[in-house]
Amino acid sequence: MTFNWDYFFSLFSMAAFWQASVTVVELSVLAWCAGLVLGFVVASARLSGPLWLKSLCQVYIWLFRSVPLLVLVVFVYNLPQMFPASGVVLGNAFFAGLLATILVEVAYMAEIHRGGLISVAKGQHEAGHALGFSYLGIQRKVVIPQALRIALPALVNEFITIVKQTSLVSVISLPELLMTGQGLYAENFLVMETLAAVAVYYVLIVSVFSLLFQVLERWANVQVKTPQTLHDSQLDALRQQAVPLAKRHAGEQHGAPDALLMKQIQKTWGQNQVFKDIDLRVAPGEVVSVIGPSGSGKTTLIRSINGLETLDSGEIVLFGESFIQAGDNRHSRLRKQGIRRIGMVFQGFNLFPHYTILQNVMLAQRYHQQPEQESARRAQALWLLDKVGLLAHMNKYPHQLSGGQQQRVAIARALALSPDIMLFDEPTSALDPERVGEVLKVISDLAREGMTMVIVTHEMDFALAISDRVVLMDKGTIQADTTPENIRHGEATPELQRIRQFMGVNSAKVA
């Protein structure tokens, strides 16, 4: 038996096949888009909805991943027998096939989205929270763009699967590619030639969409962007546009309330009591370093100040106004307002990897839609980046910077909302030793400018050099709270002995 090439090639000028190709593309694109959106909704509900909704989503995914598409297509097409009213839509083979495909794809794509969503690091959510974003704001600006990028290759793969699965819809007589071919070879018996042409049509459709998706994946992949460092001439031009951030160091005048007051704070993790009645005051403009052995609760303390940890009892007051109380509503207006007065710098930087450095710094201002125009926001962001010595890198992405540079961007980002208090959680712990100095210098500059700061640090010399007070935490309590001057020269009390010993300070030697 010979292959009839003339017949084979004639099938590529046949209108019925091109019409069938359009049907396949329409069915695939509509099913994919619906699966993309509804799958995301199901995945989000499964991850963060109430228990009943989580269970419902789980049952949906289990059911529709288990039922074969072919069975579902026939079932949906025959539904009008039970519900005659549905015949208006489901009597049409295209809509019946589309609905069955969507039902299955929502289940598959929900699981792909779930993988993307849980891959977004916890620190990304926390960075959004620290910039005062609402839950939805964090999802929109931080989580969803990253989750979609992570899930994109799997989502593209799902599209290809859908294209091929459309052939199953031939079972309900929808004239897609396979059925068109079947109609032909039933008459002329040229099965091989007809099916070979059907295969080529599928390969063509998949190839065109693969190319389109490749462009999309390339656009979305920040890892392949070429790093751009600006030249001196470009920097001079940008500096002309830069405008300093308005100073907002609140309440430094005499008699002003404490910038931060922690009253009788208690917290336990299971059996572990991390705080036993912590009381801490920080005056406006004061720099307080928190030191202590590993596991003494320093990080938990600083995270509690920013509402990232809950309290079992006690209260946190900012500039005389109650900010956080044990058991209060995490979404209260007072909390949200307070969080925007606090800038937080994390040990692991937590920059947003899908935004450039400039976009990272501008994001919070854009989100909160402050009255300034976009150009004013940009001018301030340029100034902040210049202040931390990174203007030349403004168009790069976080992964294109060193750890020290990333941490300096994180400081600029936290400063962009003109906070009244800056919190630093071991800002240099994740850095190579040669990068530590550049970050400490930026913090020292802020201290000189009068910024109120609470710094958790293991850098003892740095703490002594820039702090107004050093606080030693251990065993859930504040064991010492004193000035660097006292630590160096004060009369030896048990409290001073303890902090000197911990800091490795020999008072006689230092004096």
Ligand X SMILES: Nc1ncnc2c1ncn2[C@@H]1O[C@H](COP(=O)(O)OP(=O)(O)OP(=O)(O)O)[C@@H](O)[C@H]1O
Give the binding site for ligand X (CB under 6 A). Answer: 269, 272, 274, 292, 294-300
CB nearer ligand X, residue 124 or residue 356: 124
Q: How far is the CB of 293 from ligand X (least distance, A)?
A: 7
DSSP letters of 154-212?
A: HHHHHHHHHHHHGGGGGGGT---HHHHHHHHHHHH--HHHHHHHHHHHHHHHHHHHHHH
Residue 69: φ, ψ to 5°: -60, -40
Whole-angstrom distance, CA of residue 74 vs CA of residue 97: 9
CB nearer ligand X, residue 284 or residue 297: 297
Q: How far is the CB of 305 from ligand X (least distance, A)?
A: 12
Residue 167's closest CA among 255, 101, 249, 78? 101
CB nearer ligand X, residue 274 or residue 470: 274
Whole-angstrom distance, CA of residue 296 vs CA of residue 402: 30
**Partners of residue 262 on adjacent β-strands:** 280, 316
Instruction: Kindly state the tokens that stand for 247.
Output: 């100073």
CB nearer ligand X, residue 298 or residue 413: 298
CB nearer ligand X, residue 77 or residue 346: 346
Q: How far is the CB of 343 from ligand X (least distance, A)?
A: 19
CB nearer ligand X, residue 95 or residue 502: 502
Per DSSP, 400 falls in state G
Report yes or no: 328 and 339 within 8 Å, Cβ to Cβ: no
Q: How far is the CB of 426 from ligand X (least distance, A)?
A: 6
CA 11 to centroid of chain Cα atoms: 50
Per DSSP, 447 falls in state H
Q: How far is the CB of 299 from ligand X (least distance, A)?
A: 3
CB nearer ligand X, residue 452 or residue 457: 457
Q: How far is the CB of 93 from ligand X (least distance, A)?
A: 54
Whole-angstrom distance, CA of residue 500 vs CA of residue 60: 62
Instruction: Count how many residues are written for the chain.
Output: 511
CB nearer ligand X, residue 9 or residue 269: 269
User: What is the CA angle 322-324-325, rounded to 5?
Assistant: 95
**Partners of residue 455 on adjacent β-strands:** 289, 424
Instruction: Kindly state the tokens that stand for 168.
Output: 């199953």
Q: How far is the CB of 106 from ligand X (least distance, A)?
A: 34
CB nearer ligand X, residue 292 or residue 404: 292
CB nearer ligand X, residue 298 or residue 396: 298
Instruction: Kindly state the tokens that stand for 231.
Output: 């030249």
Q: How far is the CB of 322 from ligand X (least distance, A)?
A: 24
Q: Are strands 272-282 and 321-325 parallel, antiparallel or unpaired?
A: unpaired
Q: How far is the CB of 298 from ligand X (least distance, A)?
A: 4
Instruction: Kindly state the tokens that stand for 251.
Output: 């309440």
Q: How far is the CB of 338 from ligand X (least distance, A)?
A: 21
Q: How far is the CB of 403 from ligand X (least distance, A)?
A: 17
CB nearer ligand X, residue 346 or residue 383: 346
CB nearer ligand X, residue 46 or residue 125: 125
Q: Is 480 helix (H, G, I), strand (E, B) or coil?
A: strand
Whole-angstrom distance, CA of residue 151 vs CA of residue 21: 27
Q: Are strands 287-291 and 452-456 parallel, antiparallel or unpaired?
A: parallel
Q: How far is the CB of 346 from ligand X (least distance, A)?
A: 12
Residue 344's closest CA among 179, 132, 90, 58? 132
Q: Is 133 helix (H, G, I), strand (E, B) or coil?
A: coil
Report yes or no: 109 and 35 within 8 Å, Cβ to Cβ: yes
Instruction: State the DSSP H helix or E strand holding residue 324, giving kind and residue range, or none if neither.
Output: strand 321-325
